[in-house]
Structure 1
Amino acid sequence: MAMFHTGILVLTSPISLIPSRIAPVLAATAKIVKDTLYVHLHPGLGFTGNYVQTKPAFIAANHEVSQLLTNLYTKSSHVCSHLDVRVVLSNVKNHTSTQQPFSSVQILSEPPEVVLTDYRIIDVNQSNLYMQCLEKYTLGCYTCKPNLRAIFLPAGIDYLDSASCSDMDDSSLCESIPSYSDVVLGGTFDRLHSAHKILLSMSCLLTGKRLLIGVADGDLLKSKVLKELIEPYQQRVEKLRKFLLDVNPAIQYDLVPLRDPYGPAITDPNINCIVVSDETQKGAEAVNRKRRENVMYTMKKMLRI
């Protein structure tokens, strides 16, 4: 039975190997955490002898990271569907920065009670030191509950799935994700699930400054199946904002009601990228036609990277 309501999982494996290892790691974590699980990425975080690398590091926002996000959220929906998983992207950047990541402690909406990691302890005599260092590292990045516990997941829980690693050597995965100052997307965002989280996380990776999100309301909901079961607009917006601020609080989030197929995307001249799914591609093309009619730049269309 899970012992903690909230936790944070620090993944130290190389980005390329996480997809093949994440399922059993999540399964083991789900036995310890039962409600909200944050995921923090730090490939190569080291605990070696008396030396401990305790400072967080920036990660390049490339296609390998975007593929990882899709893989992680998809597997979490199968392995631990009861957990609200949120991958923090505050230290994932698509541009170089001289500022240290987490220069100030990030406030999380659900402060963790426990920190877990996939790091493998080689010298068991150093276990207590490693746990203290892991606690210190986490407290330096995030707000946590008092008396934060540290747990090293047991050895032997990971495996290599060759199917998951088929694209590891693809050089295109190292290509950086483009950055746009003002990004827009729209949706209903009713009861956030893994597909929502993938779309929103990809949008955060693309955004350099502002993310404008149109949240369906009014007439746009009339054609929805079982529309009477859709959560009220304000409730959906509050959950959406809470998720986004947990993922990356450095971005400006503008959440507005979307009552027609176009919304603010045809009136805001600063928007230079629209994020779409397979279902909304045609809508994005219609929005760009309207922008041309209004003598505005057309937006770059990104299909969920």
Structure 2
Amino acid sequence: MTTVNNTALFIVHLPSLSPDCYRPLSQPIANLTRITAKRLLVVLVSEEFDDAAGIPSEHSRHGNVERDEVHWHAIQRLLTFVYVQASKVAAEQDNLLLQIDVLLKTPHQLRTHRLDSQRGDEEVVNVVYRFENDHLEVSPSLARASQRRLGSLGPHASSTINDAQDEQDEPKKFSTPLSRFPVIALGGTFDHLHAGHKILLSMAAWLASERLIAGVTDTSLLGSKSNNEYLEPLETRIGRTRAFLELFKPSLTYDVVPIKDVYGPTGWDPDVQALVVSRETLSGAAAIATHRAAHDLPALETFVIHVISAKDESIVLEDAVELRKAKMSSTAIREWIAARVGREYD
């Protein structure tokens, strides 16, 4: 009989961001999702991430635009692929509330950072796997980590990734540093935080060097949502959004605030330099641009995420198909909850 774990940690070493390096992860991720009941934490480890998940660069605002664009698309494709593999199996298993988190770390960060948020995660990890050289195994050096606290696994996990590297080595710096925007904004309902939300939040955090503003739609604006009785309270949505961001990139300052219009802080804050939106919310970005121009506020650079909606087909076609199958939307999750509640009373 297959053992089902409440929480599983999957550590993956990627020599590059080429799809050829991560496509072999499809089956291992699917297998792990099938035997995980509550939470799957996937930590992707590569020198290619550089300062992308927490180590600020003093040159971070003066990068190469062409190289940054390549990284933007490569990291978005990677995150999408991993989230899709886990989400589609969770849907097949009728486990839409499985918490799936994907982190980006360099080997240095994995040695020095906690793998939980700074708010004090008391979660127990039941099993730890590693994937390297196309081989999945229960990590020998972490075999005794079963039933240990998630936050204690950061330094211990380093030996599963790169035993040959001296722990005193400095993290690798690219000759052409990544560009960053000090203050970035985004917004959303963030109800039942799912993979689509997490891709949006991750890419916004990846671009920011100092502060990220996340506007969370106030409950007063959500009365027309289907199955709105199963909407999470505003405080829950804010708390879970903040917790994920602090987990993904703990070096940033996060302003996670309720918003009662399309603008939120972008309607008055002159310090915001960029806006991250999904393709389906581009009209909101246009409204923000018009509003800022009318109020003599600096124009914002807009970055579009192509993988948020299960209806979006602008990324790799096979991933878009799987996104639809995975029902990656808050609406679908509320429908699923409503159906389960209905069955309980039938």
Q: If the length of structure 2 is used for normalisation, what is the TM-score?
A: 0.64
Question: Is the Cα–Cα contact under 8 Å of residues 33 and 86 in structure 2 kept in the other structure?
Answer: no
Residue 285 of structure 2 corresponds to 284
Provide the rounded CA distance (Å) in 2 between the counterparts of 1:246 and 1:276.
Answer: 21
Q: Tell me the secondary structure at the aligned position of residue 43 of structure 2.
A: strand
> How big is the shift at 1:196?
0.9
Residue 79 of structure 1 corresponds to 89
Summarize the Cα distance change of 1:132–1:240 in structure 2 as closer, same or farther, 3 Å threshold. same
Summarize the Cα distance change of 1:90–1:295 in structure 2 as closer, same or farther, 3 Å threshold. farther
Which amino acid in 1 is paired with 2:226? V
Which amino acid in 1 is paired with 2:126? E
The C-alpha deviation readout for 1:81-109, integer Å capped at 9, x for no partner, is 433221113549xxxxxxx4256431513
Q: Does 1:69 align with 2:79?
A: yes
Structure 1's consecutive aligned runs of 4 or more residues displaced over 4 angstroms after TM superposition are: 133-136, 175-178
The C-alpha deviation readout for 1:175-204, integer Å capped at 9, x for no partner, is 987421111111101101121111111111
Q: Does 1:197 align with 2:198?
A: yes
> How big is the shift at 1:227?
2.7
- Which runs of 5 or more residues in structure 2 are unaligned? 53-70, 162-175, 307-346
Question: Is the Cα–Cα contact under 8 Å of residues 217 and 233 in structure 1 kept in the other structure?
Answer: yes
Provide the rounded CA distance (Å) in 2 between the counterparts of 1:242 and 1:7.
Answer: 18
Provide the rounded CA distance (Å) in 2 between the counterparts of 1:75 and 1:271.
Answer: 34
Residue 266 of structure 1 corresponds to 267
Summarize the Cα distance change of 1:216–1:133 in structure 2 as closer, same or farther, 3 Å threshold. closer
Query: RMSD of aligned C-alpha atoms?
Result: 3.4
Which amino acid in 2 is paired with 1:77? S
Q: Does 1:59 align with 2:23?
A: no
Provide the rounded CA distance (Å) in 1 between the counterparts of 2:239 and 2:229.
Answer: 19
Q: Tell me the secondary structure at the aligned position of residue 251 of structure 2.
A: coil
Which amino acid in 1 is paired with 2:101? R
> How big is the shift at 1:4?
2.6
Residue 37 of structure 1 corresponds to 40
Provide the rounded CA distance (Å) in 2 between the counterparts of 1:213 and 1:196.
Answer: 11
> How big is the shift at 1:223?
3.4
Question: Is the Cα–Cα contact under 8 Å of residues 192 and 237 in structure 2 kept in the other structure?
Answer: yes
Matches within 5 A, 1:247-266: 247-266=248-267
Q: If the length of structure 1 is used for normalisation, what is the TM-score?
A: 0.72
Residue 103 of structure 2 corresponds to 88
The C-alpha deviation readout for 1:142-192, integer Å capped at 9, x for no partner, is 5249x99x999xxxxxxxxxxxxxxxxxxxxxx987421111111101101
Residue 112 of structure 1 corresponds to 125
Question: Is the Cα–Cα contact under 8 Å of residues 8 and 114 in structure 1 kept in the other structure?
Answer: yes
Q: Tell me the secondary structure at the aligned position of residue 249 of structure 1.
A: coil
Provide the rounded CA distance (Å) in 2 between the counterparts of 1:64 and 1:297.
Answer: 29
> How big is the shift at 1:39?
1.3
Question: Is the Cα–Cα contact under 8 Å of residues 180 and 207 in structure 1 kept in the other structure?
Answer: yes
Residue 132 of structure 1 corresponds to 141
Which amino acid in 2 is paired with 1:225? S
Q: Tell me the secondary structure at the aligned position of residue 192 of structure 2.
A: coil
Summarize the Cα distance change of 1:201–1:71 in structure 2 as closer, same or farther, 3 Å threshold. same
Provide the rounded CA distance (Å) in 2 between the counterparts of 1:178 and 1:226.
Answer: 42
- Which runs of 5 or more residues in structure 1 are unaligned? 44-56, 93-99, 153-174
Summarize the Cα distance change of 1:176–1:200 in structure 2 as closer, same or farther, 3 Å threshold. farther
Report percent identity of matched pairs. 29
Structure that is richer in helix per residue: 2
Provide the rounded CA distance (Å) in 2 between the counterparts of 1:101 and 1:134.
Answer: 21
> How big is the shift at 1:216?
0.5
> How big is the shift at 1:282?
1.1
> How big is the shift at 1:116?
0.4
Provide the rounded CA distance (Å) in 2 between the counterparts of 1:133 and 1:189.
Answer: 34
Provide the rounded CA distance (Å) in 2 between the counterparts of 1:257 and 1:121.
Answer: 44
Which amino acid in 2 is paired with 1:84? Q
The C-alpha deviation readout for 1:9-56, integer Å capped at 9, x for no partner, is 11124432344222201122134432211111224xxxxxxxxxxxxx
Provide the rounded CA distance (Å) in 2 between the counterparts of 1:293 and 1:178.
Answer: 28
Summarize the Cα distance change of 1:216–1:21 in structure 2 as closer, same or farther, 3 Å threshold. same
Provide the rounded CA distance (Å) in 2 between the counterparts of 1:4 and 1:235.
Answer: 25
> How big is the shift at 1:274?
0.5
Residue 206 of structure 1 corresponds to 207
Provide the rounded CA distance (Å) in 2 between the counterparts of 1:102 and 1:76.
Answer: 22
